[in-house]
Amino acid sequence: MIVRLADWLDHRTGFRAARHHLFDETLPPGTGWAFTFGSLLLLGLTLQVVTGTLLALFYAPTPDHAWDSVRYITTSVRGGHLLRGLHHWGASLVVVTAVVHMVRVILFGSYRAPREVNWGIGLVLLHVILAFGLTGYLLPWDQRAYWATVVTINISKLTPLAGEFVANLLRGGPDIGALTLTRWYGTHVLVLPPALFGLTALHLYLMRRHGISGPIREREGIPQPFFPYQAARDLTVALVVGAGLAALAWQGAPALEPPADPTAADYIPRPEWYFLGLFQLLKYFPGRLEVVGAIVIPGAVMTLLALLPWIDRARSRGLADRRWLLSSLAAGVAGITTLTVLGAMDKPPASDGTWNVREQAGLALMAGDTCTSCHSDSAVAGSIDPQRVSKPRDWVSSHLLDPEMISPGLREAPPTNEYDNGAILAALARGRSGDLPTLSAEEAGVAVLFNRNCVRCHTLGTVGGKEGPVLSTIGDRLDEAGLVRQITAPLEVKPTGDMPAFFDKLTPNEITRLSRWLASHRSTTSSQ
């Protein structure tokens, strides 16, 4: 029955001939494990297409919602944590496999005539893959994504003659924002995939047209068909690598950072690891020489690679005949590896995960009457869960300034000030990723006081102004009593100072609490 059905179908479609053509290709004797990376790459790309399509079912490419939708995928979609993990680590797998595949092609001299065109197509494919990585990196729209893109676009400005034009094209407008996000998303899901499919099809067609290049020295033996012999090797590699990928993906993609905030100018951006080498290279070319690191060197490397089939004038594919070329390859690989490792080691100091004083103040304010008189489970507006706030920052900001604006006539607007509002915005942003800390009543109260009165001029930990001295380790220099004097009437301590007095702005009790808390900030026990 099944055979008859297959016969019927074969008669109409010729699928048996197609299957024979696809799978029964004979390979040169000695084709072995080294030739499995192309298949692995094909599988990896297929996985990226499947996981990317699934992600697109949930993702919203707008600044207001991109971050929320990615968080929703990770936390609320069944299998979403694994899905995002697979797409994230799968991207790295594809880049690594593409490079390993390319190194194999160089080692075996497979780029040589008559395969020059296919070598060129492979190089273009590598760039398509990197473009996928670059555009995909922005899509979560968290701080990491946003600021890495700022750097990318600034680098693009170094393009000779057309720098501003290229940057404009990449941004889609004068600033990085909504238009950049839709542009990069459209490129990621609509422009690059057809390019990938077309070029891959062409790559495979030419591969079959010329056949596999096979081992460097031709071997005696009977040619074996691809299926099942080489297919079994391909599959073994795929299963081993796939198990590793699944183990990584099971941990999920790196946690989202807070949503993109163009005003957070102190954020230190870092690219995805496979661009770290390039990132490191730039550091050696400061100022006007930057174009050398950003464009000239990478461009020269790519040009050399593209011309490789013509540069290589050796008599044979033998390693001995191509010694100088392979030494340059080894040097190149070593150079890129070194740069990548150096780039990876040059990390900005990791934040220790505690909330800074402004964020703490915001959290304390949100828990206080100002917000909870309207926002609680039993009141008119529902309680505030920072993880569920989907309103954009500007909306929250104007709501804080004038709650009346959002719900006219509902009730009297609570008194607010710019410092409290800034703190609430900071706490909401911070609270969107990660757990909320618990603060004692004293910590909460002091954080609010510090944020209202001190943070404009003084830096504490990661936040604050630059006009006054940094207070992160003030306890080393002043004790509680000294701080009380300093805050109450600074001119009596130092007549030439700029600091205003606070005896008329704070109660003696507030000054004492603030001083006791500040005095506990010592270099050994520096918190924040």
Partner 1 sequence: MEPRRSFLTRFVTAGAALIGAGVAGLAAAVAVPRRRGATHRWRAAASMFDLPPKGPFVATLTERHADGWHETRKSMVVFLDKDGDEYRALSATCTHLGCRVAWNEESGHYKCPCHGGTFNRAGQVVAGPPPEGLRQLPVRLNPDTAELEVDL
Residues in touch with partner 1 (CB under 8 A)? 43, 47, 50-51, 54, 57-58, 60, 65, 68-69, 71-72, 76-80, 82-83, 86, 227-229, 231-232, 235-236, 238-239, 242, 382, 388, 390
Residue with Cβ nearer partner 1 (229 or 285): 229
How, if at all, do strands 224-225 and 26-27 pair?
Answer: antiparallel
**Which residues are within 8 A (CB) of 234 and not within 5 positions of it... i.e. 6 or more apart?**
36, 39, 40
Residue with Cβ nearer partner 1 (241 or 448): 241
Distances in Å between the Cα of 489 and the Cα atoms of 10, 193, 449, 500 are 95, 67, 17, 8
Beta partners for residue 350, in sequence order: none
Distances in Å between the Cα of 46 and the Cα atoms of 41, 42, 52, 58, 91 are 8, 6, 10, 19, 11
**Which residues are within 8 A (CB) of 193 and not within 5 positions of it... i.e. 6 or more apart?**
49
Q: What are phi and psi of 460, to 5 degrees?
A: -130, 120
Q: How far is the CB of 78 from partner 1 (least distance, A)?
A: 5
Biggest CA–CA distance in the chain, Å, is: 104
Residue with Cβ nearer partner 1 (170 or 384): 384
Residue with Cβ nearer partner 1 (229 or 273): 229
Residue with Cβ nearer partner 1 (49 or 493): 49
Q: How far apart are the first and last CA of the chain?
A: 74
- Which residue, among 180, 197, 170, has the nearest Cα to 146 in the 3D structure? 180
Residue with Cβ nearer partner 1 (69 or 453): 69
Q: How far is the CB of 109 from partner 1 (least distance, A)?
A: 29
Distance CA 81, CA 58 (A): 13
**Which residues are within 8 A (CB) of 435 and not within 5 positions of it... i.e. 6 or more apart?**
none
* Token pair in block for residue 299: 């461009």
Q: How far is the CB of 238 from partner 1 (least distance, A)?
A: 7
Residue with Cβ nearer partner 1 (64 or 116): 64
Q: How far is the CB of 54 from partner 1 (least distance, A)?
A: 5
Q: How far is the CB of 53 from partner 1 (least distance, A)?
A: 8
Identify residue 348 by its one-letter amino acid code: P
Q: How far is the CB of 211 from partner 1 (least distance, A)?
A: 21
Residue with Cβ nearer partner 1 (176 or 238): 238
User: What string of DSSP letters covers 489-524?
Assistant: -HHHH-TT--PPP-TTTS-HHHHHHHHHHHHT--ST
Q: How far is the CB of 497 from partner 1 (least distance, A)?
A: 50
Q: How far is the CB of 236 from partner 1 (least distance, A)?
A: 8
